[in-house]
Structure 1
Amino acid sequence: MSYHILSIDAYTCQLSCERGQLSCISDSGRQSIPLEDVGAIIVSSFKATLTSNLIIEAAKRRIGFILCDSHKPAALILPADRATDTATLRSLATMPAHLKKRLWDKTLSAKCGNQAELATAWNPLHPKIEEICAVATSRRPNREADTARLFWSIFADTFADANFRRGRKEEGYNSLLNYAYAILLSSILQKLYALGLDPAFGIFHQAREHAAPLAYDLMEPFRPAFDANVARWIRRGLEQDESPDSISEITREYRRHIISTLDAETFCRGKTTTIRASLEAVCRSFRQAVLSHQSGPYEPWTISTIKWAGS
């Protein structure tokens, strides 16, 4: 079986199987691809119909479906032999503490480094730049919290005001950030499910009801990519003399702006690609690390080459 992840997001479409070919009919016409080239199918269409024959033929080839509601995974259709007791699930569930620590250390280093890179791109002359760069590369116990504190302080001085506080329940620009992170979470959940990684088994975040610890873990280094595009939105609004309240509204234009983050050009694993593809590449590398019981294959993403980070 191939491991290509096929994403279908046409507003309305009809999916079927004919002679081993997945057929998709939408407003763009008819397209087809051999099922043998597909590893998983993500359906984000608002109105999509699937034939039972397609589901059965996909199951024979051990292909899973991820059905999304507003881009967030809502249901899984898995082959019977993939639903339970897979090697990946066993490896996740029994991962030793020392391996979790090494994987989390790599994740945390990438996140803190990304925040320092982005803060420097935003405001290279800010008096806290030297400190955030030093903290981000340190081994101090509170590195994540200290880097975040400096990062949001630089963000406030550059785009907001001294009263800005980052928090999910805070007001102002926090609404823009909350929406951006929701898009990021949904996107990484899609990739995890498609690759057979159960998000309930994390390496740092704790499991709780209706939570997805592994998604919260792996999305951390990508947060600054979305912070960069939120800041870009704020800067554009300020240049147009819009009020902070107006800028903070979650409009249709803002939703399109943030979703476009997934298609931003970046550099990952030696080649130019997109954030969307980088999400998949990181999840694949994590899966390889889990199955090999080694941290080496895991390669978190870094922000250094995202083109609009400082604009």
Structure 2
Amino acid sequence: MDRVIDIASDGRHLSRERGFLKVTEDGAEIGRVPLDEITAVIIHAHGTTCSASLLAELADRGAPVVFCAANHAPRSVLMPLDGHHAQGARLRAQWQAKTPLIKQAWKQLVVAKIRMQAAALEAHSHAHAPLEMMARKVASGDSSNLEAQAARYYWPLMMGDDFRRDRDAPDINALLNYGYTVLRAATARAVVGAGLHPGIGLHHSNRGNAFALADDLMEPFRPLVDCTVHGLAARNGTEVDTEAKQALARLIALDLPLGDGQSPVSVALSKLATSLGQSFETGKLALPLPTPPDALTLAGLGA
């Protein structure tokens, strides 16, 4: 079981005890979770304290600890230094990857993202054919920036004509921030577990972004967050409450079509990161990208 642990109340202390993450308040235990089930720990409450032994145990398991700002966007992420038995060789291959391979990898990610956006619109009874056409026209490296063109078409239909994606804005944007934080943490764990450096991206290259590769690889999965936020907002409003957080955290366990079968989002991310690492080493690109789930599944997210 993959679980995201969210700490939103001040005064909590997190520690390790016999293979468990233990949560206490004023010295009294209020809960515990097996360490082996934890995908990530997300901390919103700035009055939270953590034991060093717990942080070391989470690092050993590749589980990131994410510290969030008031808008639910990540401010810092604690990640392990070692993630794979052949990390040195894989990091060299990542650093030395040829530009054509990198551009083709980004093209495939953009195509998968636009197709997932098209499926999200179709599931909510909006015209999706223009996005399908854009997906077929994406060139190597997305030189025509069809990702941005798709976004301009997608967001007004998905969230309303007045919507503007703004990380610092409240309401729906705050819900999106939280969902993307969960997805980013799961992707960062997959990247480090595959022996890759999260700061060396395919497309994202901001010097201040230590998780550029995670941001690249999570792109095809973002519309799953969007669908969930759409459903939550329609049913319960835009408050980032416990129910909303639980619904967004459950996304990492959602089964997606992948190859000849289905895999949870967390497993799909691990397979994608591992395949990218192998592609860097062989010089031949082979990425197992998910296809959209059926319309009923997408429409039911967050509902």
Q: TM-score, normalised by structure 2?
A: 0.74
Contact 1:265/1:273 (8 A) holds in 2: yes
Which amino acid in structure 2 is aligned with residue 284 of structure 1?
A: T
Tell me the residue number matched to 2:199. 200
Of the candidates 279, 285, 297, which is equivalent to residue 308 of structure 1? 297
CA gap of 1:223–1:30, structure 2 versus 1, over 3 A, is closer
The alpha carbon displacement at 1:113 in A equals 0.9
Aligned residues: 264
Which deviations, in whole Å up to 9, do the C-alpha atoms of 1:176-232 show, x marking residues without a partner? Answer: 111111111111111111221101111111141243211111010010111111112
Of the candidates 94, 99, 124, which is equivalent to residue 92 of structure 1? 94
Tell me the residue number matched to 1:253. 243
Of the candidates 102, 113, 116, which is equivalent to residue 111 of structure 1? 113
CA gap of 1:256–1:31, structure 2 versus 1, over 3 A, is closer
Give unmatched runs, 5+ long, in structure 1. 16-23, 34-40, 56-62, 238-246
Q: 2: distance between equivalents of 1:29 and 1:251?
A: 21
Contact 2:118/2:129 (8 A) holds in 1: no
Give unmatched runs, 5+ long, in structure 2. 7-13, 23-30, 43-48, 68-75
Q: Which has the larger radius of gyration?
A: 1
SS state at 1:182 partner: helix
Contact 2:2/2:252 (8 A) holds in 1: no
Q: Say whether 1:175 aligns with 2:174.
A: yes
Which deviations, in whole Å up to 9, do the C-alpha atoms of 1:117-174 show, x marking residues without a partner? Answer: 1111111xx4x43323222322371311111111112113xxxx42112232344311
CA gap of 1:87–1:153, structure 2 versus 1, over 3 A, is same
Q: Say whether 1:76 aligns with 2:66.
A: no
Contact 1:65/1:78 (8 A) holds in 2: no
Tell me the residue number matched to 2:284. 294
Indicate the percent of aligned positions where both proteins have the same amino acid: 22
Tell me the residue number matched to 1:265. 255
SS state at 1:86 partner: helix
Tell me the residue number matched to 1:144. 147
The alpha carbon displacement at 1:50 in A equals 5.0
SS state at 1:109 partner: helix
Tell me the residue number matched to 2:273. 283
The alpha carbon displacement at 1:294 in A equals 1.1
More contact order relative to length (CA 8 Å, sep ≥ 6): 2
Which amino acid in structure 2 is aligned with residue 205 of structure 1?
A: H
CA gap of 1:293–1:279, structure 2 versus 1, over 3 A, is same
Which deviations, in whole Å up to 9, do the C-alpha atoms of 1:59-81 show, x marking residues without a partner? Answer: xxxx9543532488514253999
Which amino acid in structure 2 is aligned with residue 248 of structure 1?
A: T
Q: 1: distance between equivalents of 2:136 and 2:167?
A: 26
Q: 2: distance between equivalents of 1:25 and 1:173?
A: 34
